[in-house]
Amino acid sequence: MSNLTKNTKLNAWLDEMIALTNPANVVLIDGTDEQAEALRAEACASGELFKLNQEKLPGCYLHRTAVNDVARVENRTFICTTKKEDAGPTNNWMSPKECYDKLTPLFRNSYAGKTMYVIPYSMGVVGSPFAKNGIELTDSIYVVLNMLIMTRVGTAVLDAMGTDGDFIKGLHARATMDENNRYICHFPEDNTIWSVNSGYGGNVLLGKKCFALRIASYLGRNEGWMAEHMLILGIENPEGEVKYVAAAFPSACGKTNLAMLIPPALYAKKGYKVWCVGDDIAWIRKGPDGRLWAANPENGFFGVAPGTNAKSNPNALASTRANTIFTNVVLNEDDNTVWWEGLGEAPENALDWKGQPWNKDSGVKGAHPNSRFTAPAVNCPCISSEFENPAGVPISAIVFGGRRAKLAPLVYQSRSWNHGVFVGSIMASETTAAAAGAVGVVRRDPMAMLPFCGYNMADYWQHWIDIGAGLDEDKAPKIFNVNWFRKDDDGNFLWPGFGDNMRVLEWIIKRCEGKVDAEETAIGFVPKAEDINLEGIEDEVSEDQLKEILSVDNSLWEDEAKGIEEFYAKFGDRLPKALSDELNTLKANLEK
Ligand code: GTP
Ligand code: SPV
Ligand code: MN
């Protein structure tokens, strides 16, 4: 038996995985700069990474994925539970045995002639009571270097695991990169993740969606907490009090942007500030004070590059100016820096995301729409002082939202916790480039967790209801829905978005504090137009336009109710009664 570590379970599993994958050698990632630097040099020598201009972008590198490997592959992502019903109607399912049998030959000898990197990582502050440990085995230096940014990696994690501590077992191999044999498989009953034939982000950085959402949501249900696809931000008022909000939007629907929001000048002048605790994942549990507390288990940002600029998200841009890995963006050959659509003036001499010469006037996009930056959280100018607090922050409001050109108003508030769970469960959003497949198609994406829930979605909703039932009403976060993406009939966004979303957050916080009135509609509480502050954007948003974005069209909602009913029917009698009751209330309200 190998004795690479002090943990006997880990050593036994390593033996098994080494026998399966047959690496030429095994390297333990210790978290030191020396080791990381040597790996960067090796990746540059092999072409896996390209070293960017170290004066302008110190510590920054560019990586290009295979052209057929640029996003998560939801149709090849599986939840492997013994019983099919436990995965539920919204997940792809295989039995664990079938899946292990199918994938074992794909992994066999897949590391031959290559190095196995053993990455010990912690989701959450190392050794803290809420942190969970994982080991990822990979044949990719790109994965190692990304994990070093996105999670807390190294021997400290092995120390925290001790001699017999548990860990999530992650096995990744690029193998042959055959897209017809690409699989992202989760075994929640075995704390295991197997990912093969991909080298892209969410498919292979196993701490992120695979562990911190799919496996963690399953663990959370069993252990009484929640793993959510949510950003966490703090809003500091001029008196210095900070209120925290957690918000779930589907992939590429604005979490990173909202998490790092810079308040408009009029708010900044008064002394308002926004602090980022997390931009993608929240682990949420009831604290000793009876409130819900949310912590970000990650240590970096894997953010969408296109659209990020000095106006839309200066904090994200600043986060990418050092020690960042860029994936599938444009290389500016004049000065060895990077570019993407929306960043500003396009470079004259450039290579596109595929590495081909690119002409900015060609009409073809240079960066892939799902090109990304992997940036350390410490780089973010507005990182919260609570970022390293293992318990996280107390949540005043939970916000759901998606891309809806029509229907959903700019913001509305649920009438109760259970109504809020209903509001989350009926979320729908236009699909984006974050996953392979068609873009712009409206689909149901409950709580932005459709691709990330590791068990039956109906049981997940019941878990939400149970969590709420365990909270005193005055301590439970208030639940809202927002839509930054409403469009007019010509396809123009009706709301300026980005920093101006602060105006909506202000209303949300005031509602939590009971400081502002609202209009009750069939779907919940909507702001009175005069309560959304338009000072400074009167030219962009007229009073009438605001009224239009806040409007609730009952006839459109009647069609929506039919869609919800069809969606709910998929869950049969596993659907929580509280949700069918809420649907009936909605239908009754619409008839009034
Ligand atoms: P994932 O990392 O995939 O989970 O995405 P995300 O939810 O963090 O999305 P992100 O903040 O990266 O935004 C994705 C896209 O939405 C970018 O192209 C943004 O420019 C755009 N976007 C973000 N916020 C707004 C907004 O308020 N209004 C408009 N119109 N677009 C926005
Ligand atoms: C998402 O798609 O929601 C992301 C990017 O945050 S990935 O890590 O690829 O899942
Ligand atoms: Mn995400």
454: Cβ below 6 Å to ligand 1? Answer: no
Closest residue by CA, ligand 1 atom 15: 252
pLDDT in tens, 274-324: 999 999 999 999 999 999 999 999 999 999 999 999 999 999 999 999 999
Instruction: For 158-272, list the strands marked E by DSSP.
Output: 168-173, 183-187, 192-196, 226-228, 230-236, 242-248
340: Cβ below 6 Å to ligand 1? Answer: no
Ligand minimally distant from the alpha carbon of residue 405: 1
| Residue 515: exposure state from Cβ atoms within 10 A (0-12, 13-18, ≥19) | exposed
Which atom of ligand 1 approaches the CA of 434 most closely?
A: 3
Residue 2 has pLDDT above 80, yes or no: no
Which atom of ligand 2 approaches the CA of 304 most closely?
A: 5
Average pLDDT of the segment spanning 515-521: 97
Residue 188 has pLDDT above 90, yes or no: yes
Closest residue by CA, ligand 1 atom 4: 251
pLDDT in tens, 202-238: 999 999 999 999 999 999 999 999 999 999 999 999 9
First to last CA, the chain: 71
16: number of Cβ within 10 Å: 12
Instruction: Measure 256 CA to ligand 3 centroid, in angstroms.
Output: 9
Structure tokens belonging to residue 54: 């170290």
Q: Do the beta carbons of residue 338 and residue 372 sit within 8 Å?
A: no
Instruction: Measure 587 CA to ligand 3 centroid, in angstroms.
Output: 32
pLDDT in tens, 102-130: 999 999 999 999 999 999 999 999 989 99
Average pLDDT of the segment spanning 400-426: 97
Closest residue by CA, ligand 2 atom 8: 202
Closest residue by CA, ligand 1 atom 5: 252
Average pLDDT of the segment spanning 60-76: 97
Distances (CA, A) of 9 to 159, 308, 425: 14, 43, 39
Residue 168 has pLDDT above 60, yes or no: yes
Average pLDDT of the segment spanning 131-154: 98
Closest residue by CA, ligand 2 atom 4: 251
pTM, rounded to two decimals: 0.98
301: Cβ below 6 Å to ligand 2? Answer: no
What does the alpha-carbon distance between residue 122 and residue 131 come to, in Å, rounded to a whole number?
6
**Average model confidence (pLDDT) across the chain:** 97
Task: Give me the phi and psi of 73, to 5 degrees please.
Answer: -115, 95
10: number of Cβ within 10 Å: 24
Could you tell me which residues come within 8 angstroms of residue 456 by beta carbon, excluding any fewer than 6 positions away? 85, 86, 87, 88, 89, 91, 571, 574
Average pLDDT of the segment spanning 85-113: 98
117: Cβ below 6 Å to ligand 2? Answer: no
Which atom of ligand 1 approaches the CA of 312 most closely?
A: 20
Ligand minimally distant from the alpha carbon of residue 278: 1
Which of 299, 564, 264 lies closest to 443, judged by CA? 564
Instruction: Measure 11 CA to ligand 3 centroid, in angstroms.
Output: 33
392: Cβ below 6 Å to ligand 2? Answer: no
306: Cβ below 6 Å to ligand 1? Answer: yes
Q: Which of 186, 280, 445 to mutate to test the pocket of ligand 2 (most atoms within 8 A of CB)?
A: 280
For 122, the enclosing helix (H) or strand (E) is: strand 115-123
Active site positions, annotated:
253
Query: Sorting pLDDT into bands at 50, 70 and 90, what band is 8?
Result: very high
Query: Sorting pLDDT into bands at 50, 70 and 90, what band is 1?
Result: low
Residue at 126: amino acid letter = V
Structure tokens belonging to residue 321: 């100016």
253: Cβ below 6 Å to ligand 1? Answer: yes
Which atom of ligand 2 approaches the CA of 203 most closely?
A: 9
Structure tokens belonging to residue 471: 């909270």
**3-state DSSP helix/strand/coil percent for the chain, to nearest 5?**
35, 25, 45
What does the alpha-carbon distance between residue 586 and residue 590 come to, in Å, rounded to a whole number?
6
486: Cβ below 6 Å to ligand 1? Answer: no
Ligand minimally distant from the alpha carbon of residue 255: 1
Instruction: Measure 13 CA to ligand 1 centroid, in angstroms.
Output: 40
Ligand minimally distant from the alpha carbon of residue 281: 3
pLDDT in tens, 232-272: 999 999 999 999 999 999 999 999 999 999 999 999 999 99
What does the alpha-carbon distance between residue 250 and residue 256 come to, in Å, rounded to a whole number?
11
